[in-house]
Amino acid sequence: MNKILVAENIHRSYQDGKRKLHVLKGIDLSLNKREVMIILGPSGSGKSTLLHILGTLDKPSKGEVLLDGTSVYKANDATSSKMRNERIGFVFQFYHLLPEFNTLENVMMPALIKNQPSKERAKELLAMVGLASRMDHKPSQLSGGEAQRVAIARALMNRPDVVLCDEPTGNLDKGNSEAIFELIKEINTKEGTSFIIVTHEQGYAKFCDNVKYLEEGVLKN
């Protein structure tokens, strides 16, 4: 099977008082192994909602998500959490690094959760993202671009099949943003990791294999 992540007929609705908001309207999506996909769309188009559903952080109102052929929503909560920690990585706009831990400890965190810490793996990842000399620094001592590189290294710690990136360059300038996309492409080549990136920045489509557009809850090629 060449497809690592498949979404079938994903709907997501919310009740807002007496109004029902239909955020996602029948999304079908297939991500191939070793592919970098970008989903473009304006603010409020449902990009983050879709990413959270793909990553098991939220449940669809209707539809199915398959990770390497296995349903992520038919599993119990413990199995779903294990799948999320071991097979899916996340990179967020605001980094979400733990301020009391240094860079190396932040990268190791997903492996600590599964009781398989590997300092060597974390060091290798920090070297890969160009931060070998910043291992002992706390997040407050890093620039925005450096913090996002740490977040990417952390997402790769457990060798996930897929990394989901939610506006990963939203807080960065153009130079740092392009460097992050180049880094993602390099990691994709070296580690074979698949990526889905959601952003409103259309200029970064050039770094990706597959470009899709999400508008008013509908996904288009």
Under the banding of pLDDT at 50, 70 and 90, the label for residue 207 is confident
Q: Which residues contact 61 (CB under 8 A, 6 or more apart)?
A: 11, 12, 13
pLDDT in tens, 37-67: 999 998 888 899 999 999 988 889 999 999 9
Cβ–Cβ < 8 Å for 131, 153? yes
- What is the average per-residue pLDDT within 63-89? 83
> Which pTM value belongs to this model?
0.91
Domains assigned to the chain:
35-59+85-220 (3.40.50.300)
Q: If you average pLDDT over every residue of the chain, what do you get?
A: 89
Q: Which residues contact 78 (CB under 8 A, 6 or more apart)?
A: none
Torsion of CA 183, 138, 144, 98, to 10 degrees: 90
